[in-house]
């Protein structure tokens, strides 16, 4: 991905804060070098040219959380709808939690996701291995319709539980990142900005039905209210 660099005082201020956080956390200066404003994960992963050509420029899929920036390659991605609503100092604790989640917990996330999907990979290996064994030994194979159905069952049955586990593990790590951020920057700062974002959400929800759709959270991130509750109890 090669994001377009758009200079603005807001972007410069937020990116400067993010780079200072990287230094404070002992990460390389090259960890972050670009900032983007997007609403959908699809828009982060796919270039504008491909979106226009294949999807008519439409955005779809997972919506990013307003209160949890993501890191994609060396790019910090913030919700487009939050542009101009928080100053760089308010973004700092939110970005800090994200950097800890994506960088400090990188290997932990990798291990937990691998363990969650282990039954899926085992089922896939068993299904393919059984088919190859039957072919090699010359045993009669069931009709292709039955084989296809069994293959799908072997793949789907462990996949969705694995996806649920990944969601659970990631949400738990976000809360762990919040605890570390509270130690580094102070619990009050993180609580204050999370409550401010939640107040914006509630104000929008009062104004109309579309607010609920606009304020959807990324599926692997706890809601702002859950983050606030966890911080208060920790």
pLDDT digit string (tens) for 36-54? 999 887 777 665 444 434 4
Q: Distance between CA 15 and CA 152 in Å, rounded?
A: 45
Q: Where are the beta strands (DSSP E) in the chain?
A: 34-38, 70-72, 75-79
For residue 104, CA distances in Å to 72, 91, 182 come to 15, 19, 15
SS3 210: helix
Q: What are phi and psi of 8, to 5 degrees?
A: -160, 155
Task: Indicate the DSSP class of residue 149.
Answer: H
Q: Distance between CA 39 and CA 166 in Å, rounded?
A: 22
For residue 98, CA distances in Å to 66, 76, 138 come to 12, 9, 54
Residue 111 pLDDT: 86
- Pick from 29, 23, 143, 41: nearest CA to 92: 23
User: What is the residue-averaged pLDDT of the chain?
Assistant: 80
Residue 206 pLDDT: 81
Q: What is the β-pairing status of strands 34-38 and 75-79? A: parallel
Residues 178-228: tens digit of each pLDDT: 999 999 999 999 999 999 999 999 888 887 655 566 787 777 899 999 999
Tell me if the pTM is above 0.95.
no
In Å, how far from its chain's centre is CA 143? 41
- Give the residue ranges of the chain where pLDDT is below 50: 1-5, 48-57, 60
């Amino acid at each position: 991905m090669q994001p377009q660099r758009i200079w603005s005082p807001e972007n410069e201020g937020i990116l400067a804060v993010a780079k200072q956080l990287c230094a404070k956390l002992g990460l390389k200066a090259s960890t972050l070098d670009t900032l983007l404003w997007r609403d959908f994960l699809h828009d982060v992963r796919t270039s504008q040219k491909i979106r226009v050509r294949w999807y008519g420029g439409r955005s779809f899929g997972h919506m990013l959380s307003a209160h949890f920036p993501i890191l994609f390659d060396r790019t910090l991605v913030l919700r487009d709808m939050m542009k101009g609503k928080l100053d760089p100092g308010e973004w700092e604790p939110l970005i800090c939690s994200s950097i800890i989640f994506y960088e400090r917990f990188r290997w932990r996330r990798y291990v937990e996701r691998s363990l969650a999907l282990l039954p899926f990979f085992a089922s896939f290996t068993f299904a393919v291995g059984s088919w190859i064994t039957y072919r090699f030994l010359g045993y009669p194979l069931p009709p292709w319709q039955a084989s296809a159905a069994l293959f799908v069952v072997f793949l789907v049955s462990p996949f969705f539980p694995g996806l649920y586990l990944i969601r659970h593990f990631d949400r738990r790590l976000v809360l762990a990142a919040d605890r570390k951020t509270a130690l580094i920057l102070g619990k009050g700062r993180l609580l204050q900005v999370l409550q401010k974002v939640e107040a914006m959400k509630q104000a929008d929800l009062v104004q109309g039905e579309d607010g609920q759709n606009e304020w959807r959270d990324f599926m692997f991130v706890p809601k702002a209210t859950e983050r606030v509750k966890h911080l208060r109890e920790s």
